[in-house]
């Protein structure tokens, strides 16, 4: 049995090979993938965030931790799959303009895909105009906006406003999320839904198009 704190620790030590070894060992011993994700990897990124805030970890190290986290997710992602019986909607998902954080957004995209939605993951630093162009191109009926910075949260409202101005608002449900985003904020900016994590985001998206 692998103690998930060891996975957290190897992530913090930026020891990616050891971290991947421990993830594989944990899977072999029957640890559920969602526990590895939440109690090993995401727990590690939370500590990375605290260290970054305190000046104990710098951007290059944070980036290395982020890359290691993504590699870890690659190993477990096929086991995080939900019911993928049929396509229940088309999603455009991206991180809003000015924001480069993509790990959480990619997890949300992955969970939505495995829940049977057609997902267009359009990257980071996406402007309102670009989102609209992509919605038109893909005929999406759900727009998912991610933001990790308090300074980029207002860009969510600007994107929703631009969607209304484009005449597409009535046919597209908007979901928002990311660490600083709350249900209250979602209500204030006129989003249709908020989800606190990747699993609930996939469930909410399916409900939105039912
Ligand atoms: Co940045 N960063 N960062 N960073 N970074 C935070 C967010 C911060 C909280 C760290 C801290 O100071 N404690 C802080 C924000 C403070 C604030 O605004 N209140 C911060 C800062 C300040 C910055 C910079 C300004 C630092 C600087 O340059 N001085 C800079 C900004 C760059 C920019 O975006 N313009 C910056 C840069 C970076 C890196 C590039 C180095 C790197 C990102 C690499 C990458 O993403 N490829 C990075 C990282 C890694 C972090 C932390 C440490 C980890 C984020 C992460 O990946 N978490 C982060 C601290 C933290 O969050 N604890 C921090 C793991 C991920 C699985 O969780 O993204 O929350 P999360 O996603 C969750 C949920 O939020 C939710 O589901 C996900 C999975 O369950 N979710 C959604 C996310 N999107 C959703 C959408 C939905 C629904 C749910 O519906 C649509």
Dump pLDDT digits (tens) for 183-203.
999 999 999 999 999 888 988
Q: What is the DSSP string of the chain?
A: ---HHHHHHHHHTT-HHHHHHHHHHHHHTT--HHHIIIIIIIHHHHHHHHHHHHTSS-HHHHHHHHHHHHHHHHHHGGGS----SS---EEEEEEBTT----HHHHHHHHHHHHTT-EEEE--SSB-HHHHHHHHHHHT-SEEEEE--STTTTHHHHHHHHHHHHTT-GGG-EEEEESTT--HHHHHHHT-SEE-SSHHHHHHHHHHHT-
What band does 82 get if pLDDT is binned at 50, 70 and 90?
A: low
ipTM of predicted complex: 0.98
User: What is the average pLDDT score of the chain?
Assistant: 93
Mean pLDDT score, 28-51: 92
What band does 84 get if pLDDT is binned at 50, 70 and 90?
A: low
Has residue 85 got a pLDDT over 60? no
Angle between helices 59-76 and 103-114 (to 10 degrees): 10
Name which residue sits closest to atom 28 of ligand 1, judged by CA: 59
pLDDT at 86: 56
Q: Cα angle vertex 136, ends 101, 158, to 5°?
A: 50
If one counts every other C-beta atom within 10 angstroms of the C-beta of residue 28, the result is: 9
pLDDT at 167: 97
pLDDT at 114: 72
Q: Which of 41-55, 80-94, 147-161 has the highest mean pLDDT?
A: 147-161
* Ligand 1 geometric centre to CA of 1 (Å): 31
In this prediction the pTM is 0.89
Mean pLDDT score, 112-140: 94
> pLDDT tens digits, residue range 8-29?
999 999 999 999 999 999 999 9
Ligand 1 lining (C-beta closer than 6 Å):
42, 45-46, 48-49, 52-53, 59, 62-63, 66, 98-105, 107-108, 144-146, 148-151, 175-180, 195, 197-198, 201
Has residue 210 got a pLDDT over 90? no
pLDDT at 135: 98
Mean pLDDT score, 43-63: 90
Name which residue sits closest to atom 86 of ligand 1, judged by CA: 177
> pLDDT tens digits, residue range 128-153?
999 999 999 999 999 999 999 999 99
- Residue 162 · residue 128 · CB < 8 Å: yes
Q: What tokens appear for 179 in the block?
A: 């660490």
Q: What tokens appear for 186 in the block?
A: 């979602």
Mean pLDDT score, 75-103: 84
């Amino acid at each position: 049995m692998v103690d998930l704190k060891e996975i957290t620790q190897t992530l913090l030590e930026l020891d990616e090979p050891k971290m991947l070894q421990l993830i594989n060992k944990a899977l072999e011993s029957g640890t559920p993938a969602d526990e590895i994700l939440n109690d090993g990897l995401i727990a590690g990124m939370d500590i990375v965030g605290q260290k970054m805030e305190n000046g104990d970890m710098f951007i290059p190290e944070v980036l290395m931790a982020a890359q290691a986290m993504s590699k870890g997710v690659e190993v477990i992602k096929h086991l995080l799959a939900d019911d993928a019986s049929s396509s229940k909607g088309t999603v455009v998902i991206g991180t809003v303009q000015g924001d480069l954080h993509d790990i959480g957004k990619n997890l949300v995209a992955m969970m939505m895909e495995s829940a049977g939605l057609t997902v267009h993951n359009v990257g980071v630093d996406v402007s309102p105009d670009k989102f609209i162009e992509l919605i038109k191109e893909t005929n999406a009926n759900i727009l998912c906006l991610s933001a990790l910075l308090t300074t980029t949260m207002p860009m969510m409202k600007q994107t929703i406003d631009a969607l209304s101005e484009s005449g597409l608002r009535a046919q597209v449900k908007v979901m928002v999320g990311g660490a600083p985003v709350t249900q209250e904020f979602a209500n204030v900016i006129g989003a249709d839904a908020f989800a606190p994590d990747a699993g609930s985001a996939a469930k909410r998206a399916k409900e939105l198009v039912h």
